[in-house]
Amino acid sequence: MAAVAILGVVAGVIAIVFAVWMALWATGIYKKALQRTEGASGAKPVTKSKLKAMLLRLNKPKHPFTLKPAKDTDLFVEWKIVDAKWIEVLGGAWLKKNYYGWLLLDDATKTARMNEMITEKSLTLAGPGAYGEASFFRGVQLFRKERGYRWGIRTDGTIGEVYNYRFNPMQLKEVLRQVCNDNGWAFELVTTKGQASFPKR
């Protein structure tokens, strides 16, 4: 009986996961996040140098991210999500969270390939000891939307807002995707950094 009950629970979980997956697929969210999107119909692919220049022009104050040329890929994307320090009851604390992206412009296939990584580090000093955490994610970030806020004692001793941020990597990727597709290039997210980097010599 116990085995039957366990099988029933497992089957139920699988059914729920499948239903959610189908719903996301139907809305196009999952499909768009994973699949390659081609250049706009009728759009003649621009040269690699021109596309690169267009992408670099996205470096504007209204965008929370920056793009710059890199040694291992065509463009390195960085989003400093939060970098804050504050004072706890028994000591100081800090939190750093960053988003990184590697964007390779494959001129032969007119395809922009992007790999992404998110890192997070935190430390809290508590009297004679300390507590810290570190994590990172690399691959294709499908669904992530964050809102972070903290109010407390700042490092200068004043009391108020320590950090306040919003983070939705999909917004960044859709901006890059649109620029590439509108100019005749395909855009796809890849699971490894190697797929979005120059070949090793």
Could you tell me if 5 and 46 lie in one domain?
no
Mean pLDDT, rounded, for 34-53? 91
Categorise residue 192: left if φ over 0, alpha if ψ from -120 to 50, beta otherwise: beta
The answer to whether residues 99 and 44 belong to one domain is: yes
Same domain for 93 and 57, yes or no, is yes
Q: Are residues 13 and 79 in the same domain?
A: no
Residue 154: inside a domain: yes
Return the pLDDT at 130: 79
Domain assignment present for residue 127? The answer is: yes
Q: Which domain holds residue 131?
A: 39-196
Asked, for residue 166, whether it belongs to a domain, the answer is: yes
- For 102-141, write each residue's pLDDT tens digit: 999 999 999 999 999 999 999 998 767 777 889 878 877 7
3-state secondary structure string across the chain: CHHHHHHHHHHHHHHHHHHHHHHHHHHCHHHHHHCCECCCCCCCCCCHHHHHHHHHCCCCCCCCEEEEECCCCCEEEEEEEEEEEEECCCCEEEEEEEEEEEEEEECCCCEEEEEEEEEEEEEEEECCEEEEEEEEEEECCCCCCEEEEEEEECCCCCEEEEEEEEECHHHHHHHHHHHHHHCCCEEEECCCHHHHCCCCC
Residues 22 and 92 in one domain: no
Q: What is the pTM of this model?
A: 0.78
**With bands split at pLDDT 50, 70 and 90, how would you rate the model's confidence at 12?**
low
- 52 with 14, same domain? no
Do residues 48 and 25 share a domain? no
Share of the chain above pLDDT 90, in %: 66
Q: Are residues 13 and 110 in the same domain?
A: no
Q: Does residue 167 share a domain with residue 68?
A: yes
- Total tally of structural domains belonging to the chain: 2
Answer yes or no: is 201 within a domain: no
pLDDT digits (tens, 9 = 90+) for 52-106: 999 999 999 999 999 999 999 999 999 999 999 999 888 899 999 999 999 999 9
One domain for residues 49 and 146:
yes
From CA 62, how far away is CA 74, in angstroms rounded? 23
| Nearest alpha-carbon partner for 100 in 134, 136, 144 | 136
26 vs 10, residue with greater confidence: 10
Domain presence at residue 88: yes
Both 9 and 26 in one domain: the answer is yes
Lowest-confidence region among 15-19, 49-53, 176-180, 188-192: 15-19
